[in-house]
Amino acid sequence: MSGPIIVIDDEPMICRVSSLSLRGLGREVLTFTDPLKALAWLADAPEAPCVVVCDYRMPGLTGLEVLERLPQSVPFVLMSGDLFDVDGDDARIAAFLAKPLQPSELMDAVMPFVVR
């Protein structure tokens, strides 16, 4: 997929740092602090994102609830400080990232899905 990288996290600082880190991959990076707004944007997007990076615990929806509402073809990276609460058997989750994480960890998880 050649669409943007989407980052969804209710912490604005995580969105900012993620955006700055991922721009180095040469793709447009869109961030959302509200998962419902992210899903609304994705529903009207002209093309599917190349990858969605999403926090697990957020007000409104969990990361897994966001995943359930995405097309199965969209790669999904889940990040959280609470990954022990997550069932690691979901084949649709391409990578799990434990917070706090380094920008290089985020880049390494996203890079395989970025089409140049």
Name the phi and psi angles at 94, rounded to 5.
-75, -30
pLDDT of residue 83: 61
pLDDT in tens, 59-92: 999 999 999 999 999 999 999 887 666 666 678 8
- Alpha-carbon distance of 25 to 116, in angstroms, equals 9
Is the CB of residue 99 less than 8 Å from the CB of residue 80? yes
- DSSP letter at 49? -
CB 41 within 8 A of CB 32: yes
What are the extents of the domains in the chain? 1-50
Q: Quick count: other Cβ atoms within 10 Å of Cβ 45?
A: 13
Per-residue pLDDT of the chain (116 residues; tens, 9 = 90+): 679 999 999 999 999 999 999 998 999 999 999 999 999 999 999 999 999 999 999 999 999 999 999 999 999 999 988 766 666 667 889 999 988 999 999 999 999 999 65
What is the model's pTM? 0.93
> Edge-to-edge strand order for the sheet containing 76-80?
29-32, 5-8, 51-55, 76-80, 93-98
